[in-house]
Amino acid sequence: MTNKLKITFLLGIFMMVFSSHMMNAQLKQGDLVDGIAAVIGDEIVLESDVNEQMNYAKQQGASDTDKCEFLENLISNKLLVYEAKKDTLIENRSAAIKEQANAKYRQLLSQFPDEKTMLAAYKFRNAYEMKNAIEKIDTDQYYGQAKYQRVTDKADVTPNEVTDFYNMYKMQLPQVKDEVTLAQIMMYPKLTEAHKQDLINRLKKIKQDILGGESFESQARIYSEDEGSASNGGLYKNINKGQMVKPFEAAALNLQENEISDPVESDFGYHIIQLVKKSGKVYDARHILLKATPTEDEIKTAKAKLDSIRGLVLNGKMTFKDAAFKFSDDKRTKFNAGVIPGGDGSDKIERESIPGTISYELAGLNKGDITTAFEDEDNRRKVVKIIRMDDVIPSHQITLETDFSRIKQMALNKKKNEMVEKFVNSKLPTTFISIDGRYDNCKFKSNWKKESIKK
C-alpha cells in the first residue's frame, strides 16, 4: 500500500514496551545512547522514541521503515498533545493519570516475585523512573487522543465519497482474510446464597480485626484479591466521582473519613471500603476485595441454564436476539442481538484473531450453528457462553458490494487524517519547533523546518 493510503494516523502506537531501556544494554562503544530528536513547544521526541516506533513496525511486518516518516508522525502526535494541554475544553486528568500509572505499576509487579526482578526485566533503575515512564505514555495517549477526537469530531463521508475512495484505491486495498460474524449470550455464574454469605462473613471478620487494632493496610495486603491495589494496602488515590462502579462509589462517599463500610456487593465481588479523605469530587479510599469466583457446581448450573436457552432457540421458541436481550450479562452485546464487534468496529472478525478457547468451540460449525455452553473468561472473571456462527466469509478481495462499511471506515479515516494534517499545518507558524541536525536531509510533508527556528 502506498504512502498516500497510510490512513491509520499513528496516534495509537503508545506501547507498554520499554525498549529504549533494553536497547541501552545492547549499545556498542561509540553508539548514541539517546538524545532529543525534536522539540515541539514544550514537548520532546527522543531518538529512542523514533527507534522504538520503527522496531514495533518491523515486528508487525512493515516493509517501509523510513526513519524520517516515523519522526514526522511522532512530531505530529506531540503537536496534538501540546495543543491538547492548552485546550480548556479538554479535561486535565493529570492526577487520575498518575494514579492510573501507579495502578499499572502494581499490576505489573504482581506478575513478578519481587520489585527488584521486575525493574531488572524492564531495565529501570528504580520504581520512580518506571512509574514516570508509564505516566508519560498514558499522558501522551490521553491528550493525543482527546485532541484528535476534537479536531475530527464532525468528520463524515457521503456514499459518493465512499465510492470515489474505492475507485481511487481499489488496486491497493488489501485482501480480506477468512472472517466470521458471531453472536453470543454470556452469563456470570450465580453464586449460591451460602457462598455469598461466606464471603460476607469473611469480610465482617476482617473488619472486626481492623476495629480491634489491625491496620487496614496490612489486612488488604494479606486478604484483598484486587491485584491493582492489594500491594499498596488497598489504596486508590485521587478517584474522580464516576470513576468507580456505582455500588463502590455510593458506599465510599456515604462514609466519614477513616470510617469502614459493611460488606458491599459489586460486579467484581464483595468489598469493605475505608474512606481516607474527600475533597470536592475527588477522594481517596482503601478497600479489601473478595472476588465472586464461582465454584465448579455454580459453573455447571450456569451451563445447564444456557444449554436450555440454546434449546429454545434451536426449537424456534425464541430468537437468538430475544434470548441475548433477556438473558445475556454482556452489556456490550445484549442490546445488539448478541453480535460481537470486530477489531475495526464492524461485525466481521478474522478467524485467526479469535482466542483459542472460542476457536476450539467453533471448530466444525457452519452458518447458523450454536455451540453448547462452555466456560471462558471475561475481564478476568469466569463466565459461561454460547456462541452462534452468524456468517462465514471466505478470503476475498475487497469490493463495494461485500465490504461497503469497511470501505466507508477507510474513507472516513482518510478524511480525519487530512483534517488533522490541516490542523497541524495551521499551528506551525505559531509553534516553536526544533529538529536535530541528524534529520537535515529528511523531506517532510509538512514544513517542520521553519526558517524562524534556525535563526
Summarised one tens digit per residue, pLDDT across range 383-429 is: 999 999 999 999 999 999 888 988 999 999 999 999 999 999 999 99
Are 311 and 261 members of one domain? no
Q: Is the pLDDT of residue 1 over 70?
A: no
Residue 318 counted as domain residue: yes
Are 182 and 330 members of one domain? yes
Secondary structure element (H or E) that encloses residue 78, with its range: helix 67-86
Q: What is the mean pLDDT of residues 328-335?
A: 94
Q: Is the pLDDT of residue 442 over 50?
A: yes
Residue 46 counted as domain residue: yes
Are 325 and 361 members of one domain? yes
Are 275 and 245 members of one domain? yes
State the residue for C-alpha cell 444456557: 306
Are 82 and 210 members of one domain? no
Are 338 and 433 members of one domain? no
pLDDT of residue 63: 67
Residue 280 counted as domain residue: yes
Burial class (CB in 10 A: 0-12, 13-18, 19+), 438: middle
- Pair 119, 4: CB distance under 8 Å: no
Distance CA 136, CA 105 (A): 13
pLDDT band at 11 (very low <50, low <70, confident <90, very high): very low
Q: What residue type is 76 in one-letter code?
A: S
Q: Give the DSSP letter string of 361-423.
A: HHTT--TT-BPPPEEEEETTEEEEEEEEEEEEE-SEE--HHHHHHHHHHHHHHHHHHHHHHHH
Distance CA 327, CA 186 (A): 8
Are 425 and 386 members of one domain? no
What is the span of the domain harbouring residue 235? 193-291
- Pair 15, 51: CB distance under 8 Å: no
State the residue for C-alpha cell 479515516: 413
Are 94 and 66 members of one domain? yes
Residue 236 sits in a domain whose CATH number is 3.10.50.40
Are 183 and 324 members of one domain? yes
Are 199 and 185 members of one domain? no
What burial letters (b/e) apply to 22-33, b meaning 16+ CB within 10 Å? ebeeeeeeeeee
Residue 60 counted as domain residue: yes
Q: What is the pLDDT of residues 134-190, one digit of tens each?
A: 998 899 999 999 999 999 999 999 999 999 999 999 999 888 899 999 999 999 999
How many structural domains are present in the chain? 3
Cβ-Cβ contacts under 8 Å for 116 (sequence gap 6 or more): none
Residue 222 counted as domain residue: yes
Residue 11 counted as domain residue: no
